[in-house]
Structure 1
Amino acid sequence: MPRKNIFEILKNNFDIPREMNKLVGLFSLQIIFYTETSMYYQSDTHRITIEMLCDTVILPKWKQRGNYLSHEEIKRVIPFPENFTSQTSLDTIVSCLEYYCNLLYLLLKKFDLTHQNKYKYDAKMIKIIYENINNLLDHLHYEKKINEEEETVILIPKNPAATAVAEITENKDIAFAILKYNHASLKGDLEGKKQLLLSIANEYEPLLKSPIDGFTDYFKKATFLLNNLNLRHNNKSGQDKKQLVVDMPNKELEKWYDELYQLLLFCVLIKDNVKRKKEIDDLVKKIN
């Protein structure tokens, strides 16, 4: 196996909770400063954080402020954890990231920091914050939707099915594997996608062996593809060789890996919705 260069190592070492903690640190930096002149004509320079500026200048004018008086009050309601860990839920991570996206939007768009004569800022750090947020969104497979009229930024999943399955998956590693599969860095990486597919399939092996009535064919097809697309078995040589797979270009094989990924998600969602339907049926019976 060829040695990975340092850039491949760094790219594969992306840790979402760690990156969230780094973002917390970036937003705590005093990167905005302004000068005030006292009645004795002495100039004092003050350095503040993005959140501090929002509290004093931006938040009072924000359409979505409601009755909130400070960023700390908003963070308590979210709620914002003291530290992000592997146990932090995806919902919490996305909510906190959405909070930061709104702060940055208010700072750069509504407040228009770049055209405020009174305030100076560290443009390099603002750029780093912006890029780090976008990288996190990329790894989570979320995208920003901005409503200028309402002055809001909301985050929505690029792949709703993947997010839905990740949210109901108890195993955090598998949840992140589900989200990671669609990441741009994996395009063309058959081995990377293969390993993720196998980990997802192994997690849901009991489900595949016990298909849901009315959907048996989907579960059987998923199992068949796992066994015949050079995933669980060597289908390019030996006793499990499949000539079609041998002759298949990598680009086409990757396409079928992607289809299998969607099929696995579908099978998991079928189970979840059957459970939900049963609960609704029980409620209907009680009401009647």
Structure 2
Amino acid sequence: MSRKNIFDVLEKKMDINYEMRRILEMYNESVIDNYTLEEYFDEYCLSNWKNRNRFLSTEEMRIKLNITDDDIIKSADENTYLFFLEFIFNLIWQCDMTMSENEFYTKEFNYLYENVQSVVDYLGYEVKVFGEQEKVLLVEKNAAMTAVAEIVEPNLAYEVIEYNHHSMKGDISGKQKILKILTDKFEPIRGELKKINKELESSTGYLLNKMNIRHNNIEGKNAIGYVKNLSNEELEEWYDEIYQMLLLCILEYDNIERNKKVGELKNIIEGG
């Protein structure tokens, strides 16, 4: 049996329950210019936050989200943990926007940020910031999603990323709504897309028409027996496939102009 060094031991598989309790402890102890994170947010950020709704304190929001200290201590549910981590990132982002030059983060606060980021990475999620909406979301890592979000208009980028949000799992109607929005992006590019990937264009259009997205395929004149008999889990699996296909369509279309430029460069090089 090979001997382990200290780094092998230190880098062993993460105990999420332990890490979340430690993050909770750091969250309560982290200080910004002599305020706890919650105290600073309540004092300087909450009243001007677009997403405050009617809440008067972080305590109220945590109760509503079921991420109080007791919830975190007693829970072993990943969704609860993700809500708490997302909540922390939103507080930190708002504090960053509000802090003046003479205010400062403590070492404990920096440890909190680093540990939260580490756990998010370990769980397979990434942080997406929407400055205009003043929102920070945690979404599953998805290279195609990230690439598409960077090339489409901001309001569509939010929809692209929201589809991958952990709270969307099992939300059939929510995913259907986003797919309808992405369909509006797909339609205008179909002609050009068909020239370079006819099969992808045709298959995507077919599924949008037949899987209860564009039309009601559950009942009425457009009803389809197969679709009608799908379980929610099966339908969601198809929606996730269609989502990936729509992302690929957008990326393929975006690459058309790039390929033209490469072709022009080839002609210049070969001709020279």
Shorter-chain TM band: 0.5 to 0.7
Of 138, 148, 158, the residue aligned with 2:141 is 158
Which runs of 5 or more structure 1 residues have no equivalent in the other structure?
Answer: 1-5, 31-47, 54-112, 114-120, 142-156
Cα deviation digits, residues 55-110 of structure 1 (max 9, x gap): xxxxxxxxxxxxxxxxxxxxxxxxxxxxxxxxxxxxxxxxxxxxxxxxxxxxxxxx
Question: Paired residue for 1:22, among 94, 108, 121?
Answer: 94
Shift of 1:212: 3.4
What is the letter of the counterpart of residue 275 of structure 1? Answer: E
Max radius of gyration: which structure? 1
Range with greater deviation from structure 2 (260-269 or 199-208): 199-208
Determine whether 1:49 maps to 2:104. yes
1:240 is paired with a residue whose SS is: coil
Change (3 A) 1:130 1:246: same
Query: 1:193 Cα shift?
Result: 0.6
1:49 alignment partner AA: F
Does 1:178 pair with 2:196?
Answer: no
Alpha-carbon deviations, 1:182-205, whole Å to 9, x = none?
111100000111111111111231
Deviation of residue 135 (structure 1)?
Answer: 7.6
1:233 equivalent in alignment to 2:215: yes
**Once the two structures are superposed, what CA deviation does each residue of 1:223-256 show, in whole Å capped at 9, x if it has no partner?**
1111111111110110000000110001010000
Structure 1 counterpart of 2:212, one-letter code: N
1:258 — aligned with what? 240
1:167 corresponding residue in structure 2: 150
SS at match of 1:140: strand
For structure 2, list consecutive stretches of 5 or more residues without a partner in the other structure.
1-63, 67-82, 130-139
Query: Where does residue 46 of structure 2 map in the other structure?
Result: none
1:167-186 CA deviation, whole Å, 9 max, x = no partner? 111x2110111111111110
Cα separation, 1, equivalents of 2:248 and 2:228: 28
Structural RMSD (CA):
3.7
More helix by share: 2
| Contact 2:218-2:224 at 8 Å conserved across structures | yes
Q: Which amino acid aligns with 1:24?
A: D
Q: CA deviation at 1:139?
A: 5.2
Displaced runs of 4 or more, over 4 A: 17-21, 25-30, 125-139
d(CA) in 1 for partners of 2:119, 2:98? 14
After TM superposition, list the pairs within 5 Å mapping 1:199-210 onto structure 2.
Answer: 199-210=181-192
- Among all aligned residue pairs of Structure 1 and Structure 2, give the percentage whose two residues are the same amino acid: 30
* Other-structure match for 2:51: none
Contact 1:138 1:183 in 2 (8 A): no
**Partner residue, 1:224:** 206
Question: Residue 149 of structure 2 contacts residue 157 of structure 2 at CA under 8 Å; is this kept in 1?
Answer: yes
